[in-house]
Amino acid sequence: MRLLQTLTVACFALAPSALGRSEAFLNDFDEAAALAREENKDLFVDFTGSDWCGWCIKLDEEVFSHEAFLVEARKDFVLVALDFPRGDEAKAAVPNPERNDELREKYGIRGYPSCLLMTADGDVYAQTGYQKGGPEKYIEHLRELRKTGRKALEDVLALVKRFEATEGDARLAVWEEIITLLESLDAGSAIARRLAGPVKTALEQDPDNAAGRKLRAIKALLAAGLADDAVLAGARELDPKNEAGLLELVVAAQMEAVDSEEAVRAVCVAIAELDALGPIQDQELAFRFYLNAAAWNDRFLEDSEAAKKFAAKAKAIGTENERILEMLDGILDS
């Protein structure tokens, strides 16, 4: 149930032990951000599917519903739960689904549970999800993420600020620092998003890739999962035949963003077109393409011929996962 501002203040004045999971987690992001600024805290934002996501339910039961978590977590964070349920009753309990959808898109949420640690201004510095070990272990995990993540975010923001304050050769030198940092980060790094803007300037500053910066920027952004329409279009333009492996990264980004049957159909077409160009360079990625194309064609698009074709290709690459092998065999034998 949505808490009014006056009730929110009253609830947070209570002793932490008096609060349960539902009262301790706000469901209004903007209200929580305002409270975090007032109390000089960070935000812990749980993107969840409360009535269908098994790992979300497990995380709630093992960690978020426990006083040991709520008491300690609220020392540093204002807790937020943004729910994306499927049942009508649970949907009716979400007070602001449109705003939740905006935030899911803004922060690139593709799976649940996704738990973001961020400043009151919405700058993400760490991301996590389900962790084994119970509430005490989870608190240790959050404290370590906050310690290292906040410092990394501060360094990144300072670097971006320096980029914005320079011009000419000095600006190019800072751009080199920024893209080198982006290239060094693990895929899905929480702080990578803040580097995307400066890196993307290469698409305009080096439109023909004469200096090689446009290609380098596109590769880095695709690898970091930060591709927008301009990046995807640039990748297709620079590597239409996948000779540099860019096109398969484009299809991977498209696959990760699937959220409808129409998107599934488009990705299956893109995988087929990519496959027709020749061998996919990244075999791990090729397996994911073929596996998803086989499953989607079989279950949603009802194209048994395409499903069998991709199932055979996935099986040829191979996997040690017996359940996946059984699924592929089931498609091939159907």
Domain spans in the chain, listed from the N-terminal domain onward: 5-150, 168-238, 254-334
- If pLDDT is split at 50, 70 and 90, which confidence band does 108 have? confident
pTM, two decimal places: 0.75
In whole angstroms, give the CA distance from residue 141 to residue 114: 15
The per-residue pLDDT for range 152-209, each reduced to its tens digit, is 999 999 999 999 999 999 999 999 999 999 999 987 788 999 999 999 999 999 999 9
Which fold would CATH assign to domain 5-150? Answer: Glutaredoxin (3.40.30)
| pLDDT in the model for residue 7 | 30
Number of residues in the chain: 334
Residue 5 pLDDT greater than 60, yes or no: no
The per-residue pLDDT for range 16-60, each reduced to its tens digit, is 434 446 679 999 999 999 999 999 999 999 999 999 999 999 999
The overall average pLDDT reported for the chain is: 90
The per-residue pLDDT for range 86-96, each reduced to its tens digit, is 999 999 999 99
Residue closest to 182 by CA, chosen among 150, 202, 156, 149: 156
Mean pLDDT over 274-295 rounds to 95
In whole angstroms, give the CA distance from residue 160 to residue 177: 10
Residue closest to 178 by CA, chosen among 139, 127, 224, 140: 224
In whole angstroms, give the CA distance from residue 48 to residue 130: 11
Give the DSSP letter string of 222-272.
HHTT---HHHHHHHHHH-TT-TTSHHHHHHHHHHHT--SHHHHHHHHHHHH
Residue 9 pLDDT greater than 90, yes or no: no
**Percentage of residues of the chain with pLDDT beyond 70:** 93
Mean pLDDT over 291-303 rounds to 93
Task: Specify whether the CB–CB gap between 33 and 41 falls below 8 A.
Answer: no
